[in-house]
Structure 1
Amino acid sequence: MEFIMKENGFTANFEYGTLHISGNEEFGFRPYQLLVSSIAVCSGGVLRKVLEKKRIVYKDVKVTADVTRNPEGAQEIQKVHMHFIITGSNISEEKIEKSLAVTRKNCSMVQSVKDSIEITESFEIIEG
């Protein structure tokens, strides 16, 4: 990966397109947003694969992420709490709990930060 400095941040060109990164939201994604997005989307993608392998039928999965940052110093991320909203019919809470445990172990982003950022999860099932 190559990151090119611009007046108000950096850009990186990828196959999908150009990513603009800046400490100022007016000029690009903030670094902490990208880190939290990586954790949440990696977890959501792994959960999708786990649900499919377990043949758990679902219609939709949404992930929200609450972030706790250190108010002093560098404002580093201390905690990310992800809440998974799974829509489907006849989905067992026990199966989702087990699926999230497998997800946690297999998400490369969670495994990369688990010793420095507290990662927690919760979920709800919406019948539909």
Structure 2
Amino acid sequence: MAVQVSTKWLGDMRFESTNPSGHDLFIDAGEENGGKGEGYRPKALMLSGLAGCSGLDVASLIKKMKLDVDDFTIDIDANLTEEHPKYYDKVSMNFHFYGDNLNEKKLQKTVDLSIDKYCGVMEMFRRFADVEVNIFFNE
């Protein structure tokens, strides 16, 4: 399955990128790197992609399993190497589930299925980073 993304330079350090969903996003460097901070940073966007990929899996599984979850968030902390090319070598992915009637065993299963079977972005990250996944239940 081919995927196409088109990214256009808008001048300075700013770009506009389209994707198959038809939505555009802007990419820009921070002021410390000659940009104006008017868009996403590429490496941080990778972490958002990881959280979004797994989050979509988990949300779908919560619905299929008819689990009672009020809310959930995914926080990611990542370590960027010091030398060029800089990349993430360690990633900590933290799932936080909120609700009064959380089924911890089934929620653990939703995360496990995502990170071990469904999330292709996770598989890509595993090729270059040590990825740790933690789950927190907040009732």
Picking from 61, 69, 76, the partner of 2:72 is: 61
Q: Which residue of 2 aligns with 1:91?
A: 102
Give the CA deviation at 1:126. 1.5
Aligned length: 126
1:1-128 equivalence runs, <5 A:
1-5=5-9, 6-14=11-19, 15-16=22-23, 18-24=24-30, 26-104=37-115, 105-127=117-139
Amino acid at match of 2:86: Q
Q: How large is the Cα RMSD of the aligned pairs?
A: 1.7
Q: Structure 2 stretches of 5 or more lacking a match?
A: 32-36
- Greater RCO (CA < 8 Å, at least 6 residues apart): 1
How many percent of aligned residue pairs carry the same amino acid?
Answer: 23
- In structure 2, what is the Cα distance between the partners aligned to 1:27 and 1:87? 33
> 42-51 or 86-95: which moved more?
86-95
- In structure 1, what is the Cα distance between the partners aligned to 2:62 and 2:102? 10
- TM-score (normalizing by structure 2): 0.80
